[in-house]
Amino acid sequence: MDQNQAFKNGFAAPVIFFLILSLELLTAILNYLKKRGTRNARQIQLKQEIKQLLKEAGSLSSPSTFAQAAKLRRAAAAKEKELAQYQESRSKDKKQSPDFYLGKIKIVKGVIYVGLIWWFWSTSVAVIPAHLLQPLGKLLFWGGGNAAGNTIRVGIIPWLVVTNRVSEFAIRKLAVVAIAHLNRSQTS
């Protein structure tokens, strides 16, 4: 058995799993950034100023302070316009947009999947005892070479499907734990 075959049979399954996991983690981080929006100090400052102006205008409710309240509301509207222009100018910069990088990650994922399928098509990714995979052995065998006695040779396509699903599940659970931790730290 040459070194390439030894890599394929010994280390291929965990290496593929961690590769897929890292791609899914990167995708999840970019999706989080996209959902959260790219905020910077200028945007936060403008939003705080708008909120403060509207709060002050709301506290001036008597007829004698109506003109002052209207002036504060106009100032808040001007700040909102400035914020909208600032956000528009920032959104034009595609290099900082998570959508730009998400598109690139999809292309990289596709290339990696095709490359892995091409590399491992004629050989198995892992050899697992048959009793561990009793009901699913035939499904995992697809594209994995010949079945030999008490072992099941796992093919690349079923392994990619399994690792992709497990990675997505692990990332979702990790996100739930991270959000719970952030919420706990913010309330304390």
**Cα 148 to Cα 46, 55, 128, 137, distances in angstroms:** 68, 75, 11, 12
Q: Looking at residue 20, what is its pLDDT?
A: 93
Residues 104 and 92 in one domain: no
* Residue among 68, 64, 27, 66 nearest 170 (CA): 27
Residue 164 has pLDDT above 50, yes or no: yes
Domain boundary pick from 47, 65, 96:
96
Residues 164 and 111 in one domain: yes
- What element of type H or E holds 154? strand 151-154
* Residue among 168, 181, 173 nearest 22 (CA): 168
Residues 19 and 109 in one domain: yes
Residue 49 has pLDDT above 90, yes or no: no
Helix, strand, coil tally for the chain in percent (to 5): 80, 5, 15
Q: Compare 139 and 143 and report the one with higher pLDDT.
A: 139
Residues 121 and 185 in one domain: yes
Range of the domain at 47: 39-96
Q: Compare 138 and 53 and report the one with higher pLDDT.
A: 53
Provide CB contacts within 8 A for 31, sequence distance 6+: 98, 102
Domain count, the chain: 2
CA 122 – CA 108 distance, rounded (Å)? 23
Inter-residue contact 125 to 159 (CB < 8 Å): yes
Burial class (CB in 10 A: 0-12, 13-18, 19+), 31: middle
Q: Looking at residue 1, what is its pLDDT?
A: 46
Residues 50 and 107 in one domain: no
Q: What is the pLDDT of residues 114-127, one digit of tens each?
A: 999 998 888 778 77
Residues 124 and 185 in one domain: yes
Domain boundary pick from 67, 96, 125:
96
Residues 115 and 128 in one domain: yes
Read off the pTM: 0.62
Q: What is the pLDDT of residues 32-46, one digit of tens each?
A: 877 776 567 777 788
Q: Looking at residue 145, what is its pLDDT?
A: 43
* Residue among 95, 102, 119, 100 nearest 16 (CA): 119
**Cα 113 to Cα 89, 156, 164, distances in angstroms:** 36, 10, 11
Residues 113 and 183 in one domain: yes
Q: What is the mean pLDDT of residues 94-108?
A: 79
Domain boundary pick from 53, 72, 96:
96
Residue 6 has pLDDT above 70, yes or no: no
Residue 184 has pLDDT above 90, yes or no: no
Q: What is the mean pLDDT of residues 178-186?
A: 77
Residue 176 has pLDDT above 80, yes or no: yes
Give the pLDDT band (50/70/90) at residue 155: confident
Residues 45 and 22 in one domain: no
Residues 76 and 117 in one domain: no
Range with lowest mean pLDDT among 61-75, 102-116, 135-149: 135-149
Residues 164 and 177 in one domain: yes
Backbone angles phi, psi at 136, to 5 degrees: -110, 5
